[in-house]
Amino acid sequence: MAAVNPAIHQDTHDIHDHKPHGFLHRWLFTTNHKDIGTLYLVFSLAMFFVGGAFAMVIRAELFQPGMQLVQPEFFNEMTSMHGLVMIFGAIMPAFVGLANWMLPMMIGAPDMALPRMNNWSFWILPFAFLMLFSTMFMPGGGPQGGWTMYPPLALQGGMNVAFSIFSIHMMGISSIMGAINIIATILNMRAPGMDLLRMPVFVWSWLITAFLLIAVLPVLAGAVTMLLTDKYFGTSFFNAAGGGDPVMYQHIFWFFGHPEVYIMILPAFGIVSEVIPTFSRKPLFGYQAMVYALACIAFLSFIVWAHHMFTVGMPLGGNLFFMYGTMLIAIPTGVKIFNWVTTMWGGSLTFETPMLFACAFVILFSIGGFSGVSLALVPADFQYHDTFFVVAHFHYVLVTGAAFAIMAAVYYWLPKWSGHMYSEKWGKVHFWSSAISVNLLFFPQHFLGLAGMPRRIADYNVAFAEFNMISSIGGFWFGLTQIIFVGVIVHCVFFSRVRATGQVWEGSHGLEWTLPSPAPYHSFSEPPVITAGMLAHGDVSR
């Protein structure tokens, strides 16, 4: 499909509107993709610290065996809220924020396709989290059944059930609108010449992610609606006595949940595919293979959900199907890992902060991938299920995977956003401190899990004491390190005097680098002319 020809000129040319004046007017009513992107990113950073604070409570309680700081109910509240806040408040909005900032610039558009809906997608989020956090101050406290909210446990909560379910509905509406906007933008706003198979990999990753979001978030909405009616309106969806099945919730939930984990990693793949070529000073190796691998992973994500529930007592055929399906995912993921490594092979590498985060991503995400393959094996999973091994696995893919990629993206594009260079020295301090502490935090959890320590338990056998203490120390260290991250960002945006050039990085290619830094308020007022040499992955038009 060729790009839409935007040669249609409007005669209703009013004022060339630049930044609106007035704080409220600019941030509350904005339709500008950069302002909305900034809102998303700032919100996500705030939620990263809130969710991080919850994690600190967890690690503090687990520092030693025995009950020291909090009540078990509050501990369970912390694990549940940490999951919900990090997934729906930190990781997803960060990626949407990056999409808002970068997609129009990368495809040569002035803004997103549906700018007003874009504003609404963001402005639902703070209200959704207001509702979610309010449950912590209600009688009975916030949700304590885990972020997955399995019935019947989750339904035994008090007032929080209705409020947390409605807040999830709001987050879902927000994400669906965001995803619709992103698809419409990518399909409709590309500059002439920006064919689908010439788009930057980050754009591709978001096109596929947006499809996943629209496909599965309504399913989550359905699942939690059934929870709500089971508790308040006497339905029997998850009640075996009425002919339903609590395991059915897990099926519906993970039909959403598994694509959801790829929603949180595909844009990370896209970011790393932008960063590595820049600092290797080589075009991306195997561009088309990368794109097809993304599509392949997205397809497989729909048929592997029950690997989260091998121990619930599914028929053997079910377990086998989901085991083999899950192991298949290692193939396209391997394609991606090898292509990143091959991109670096023979390149003239430099290791600025974004590249450090991207390299750490490739290595540490692979570790998370390996533990994922172990978990995919049904017999092994019978031992690993619901232990800290699972916690270690998904934190390797979500923290050193998704969060590291987000940090790489922030360092990579921050000069383009702000017009100033960040402090490379403090960026590197942030990276090394994060990379060391995060391994101290999560690597011992593999051993804890293999030794049988269950997750979501506030107290544990003294046999697990040492590794837990090491993990907690790593946790506090990692948490404190992120203050450096904020410091670097604040310094870069408000105090840095080093002006960034348009291209910013010596090896950077792509439309976003043809704009001055900081990028103009409306990215491209006229569709740019695209030449093959501009693109990060080189000329792929044969």
Partner 1 sequence: MAQTQGAYYVPHGSHWPIFGSLGMLGTLGGAALWMDDFQIGKLVMAVGIALMIVMFIGWFHSVITESVAGKYNKQVDVSFRLGMIWFIFSEVMFFGAFFGALFYTRMLSIPWLGGMGHGGPTNEFLWPAFTAAWPSNGPDAIGGDFTVMSPWGIPLLNTLLLLSSGITLTIAHHALRVGHRARLLTFLGLTVVLGAIFLGFQVYEYYEAYHHYNLTLGSGIYGSTFFMLTGFHGAHVTLGAIMLCVIWARSAAGHFSRNDHFGFEAVAWYWHFVDVVWLGLFVFVYVL
Catalytic residues: 82, 111, 147, 174-175, 258, 260, 262, 273, 307-308, 333, 336, 455
Compute the least distance from the CB of residue 104 to partner 1, in Å. 10
Q: By CB under 8 A, is residue 309 in contact with partner 1?
A: no
Long-range pairs of 457-460 with CB within 8 A, sequence gap ≥ 24? 458/61, 458/62, 458/67, 458/70, 458/72, 458/75, 458/76, 459/65, 459/66, 459/67, 459/72, 460/62, 460/65
- Closest CB to partner 1 among residues 313, 379: 313
- Would you say 276 and 345 are in contact if contact means Cβ atoms under 8 Å apart? no
Comparing CA positions, the residue from 332, 341, 344, 327 lying closest to residue 380 is 327
Map the footprint of partner 1 across residues 412-441, applying CB under 8 A.
Answer: none
- Closest CB to partner 1 among residues 56, 132: 132
- Closest CB to partner 1 among residues 249, 464: 249
- Would you say 274 and 199 are in contact if contact means Cβ atoms under 8 Å apart? no
Q: By CB under 8 A, is residue 312 in contact with partner 1?
A: no
Count of residues that interact with partner 1, criterion CB under 8 A: 89
Compute the least distance from the CB of residue 152 to partner 1, in Å. 15
- Closest CB to partner 1 among residues 7, 542: 7
The two tokens of residue 361 are: 């991503």
Comparing CA positions, the residue from 109, 16, 13 lying closest to residue 523 is 109
- Residue 345 to residues 260, 280, 340, Cα–Cα distance (Å): 32, 8, 9
- Kindly write out the interface string for residues 183-212 of this chain, putting x where it contacts partner 1 by CB under 8 A and - elsewhere: xxx-xxx-----------------------
Q: By CB under 8 A, is residue 542 in contact with partner 1?
A: no
Compute the least distance from the CB of residue 176 to partner 1, in Å. 5
Compute the least distance from the CB of residue 523 to partner 1, in Å. 9
Compute the least distance from the CB of residue 117 to partner 1, in Å. 7
- Would you say 508 and 475 are in contact if contact means Cβ atoms under 8 Å apart? no
Compute the least distance from the CB of residue 463 to partner 1, in Å. 34
- Closest CB to partner 1 among residues 8, 542: 8
Of 250-258, 293-301, 348-356, 403-411, the segment contacting partner 1 by CB under 8 A is 250-258
387 three-class SS? strand
Q: By CB under 8 A, is residue 215 in contact with partner 1?
A: yes
Non-local CB neighbours of 298 within 8 Å, separated by 6+ positions: 208, 209, 211, 212, 259, 262, 266
Map the footprint of partner 1 across residues 135-194, applying CB under 8 A.
Answer: 159, 162-163, 166-167, 169-170, 173, 176, 179-181, 183-185, 187-189
Burial level of 307, CB count in 10 A (0-12/13-18/19+)? buried
Among 64, 239, 311, 514, which residue sits at the site for partner 1 (rule: CB under 8 A)?
Answer: 239
| Bridge partner list, 499 | 420
Angle between helix axes 330-344 and 266-280 (nearest 10 degrees) is 20
Map the footprint of partner 1 across residues 67-126, applying CB under 8 A.
Answer: 109-111, 113-117, 119-120, 123-124, 126
| Bridge partner list, 387 | 454
Q: By CB under 8 A, is residue 268 in contact with partner 1?
A: no
Compute the least distance from the CB of residue 507 to partner 1, in Å. 30
- Closest CB to partner 1 among residues 248, 373: 248
The two tokens of residue 97 are: 């924020």
Among 1, 7, 21, 497, which residue sits at the site for partner 1 (rule: CB under 8 A)?
Answer: 7
Using CA atoms, how far apart are residues 271 and 358, in angstroms rounded to an integer? 8
Report the amino acid identity of residue 374. S
Within 10 Å of residue 191's Cβ, how many Cβ atoms? 18
Q: By CB under 8 A, is residue 472 in contact with partner 1?
A: no
CA torsion sign, 306 to 307 to 309 to 314? positive
Comparing CA positions, the residue from 82, 230, 85 lying closest to residue 150 is 230
Q: By CB under 8 A, is residue 515 in contact with partner 1?
A: no
Q: By CB under 8 A, is residue 233 in contact with partner 1?
A: yes
Non-local CB neighbours of 469 within 8 Å, separated by 6+ positions: 63, 64
Compute the least distance from the CB of residue 241 to partner 1, in Å. 4
Compute the least distance from the CB of residue 402 to partner 1, in Å. 23
Comparing CA positions, the residue from 128, 297, 307, 336 lying closest to residue 212 is 297
- Closest CB to partner 1 among residues 116, 499: 116
Map the footprint of partner 1 across residues 11-40, applying CB under 8 A.
Answer: 12-17, 20, 25, 28-31
Q: By CB under 8 A, is residue 2 in contact with partner 1?
A: no
- Closest CB to partner 1 among residues 14, 495: 14
- Closest CB to partner 1 among residues 130, 462: 130
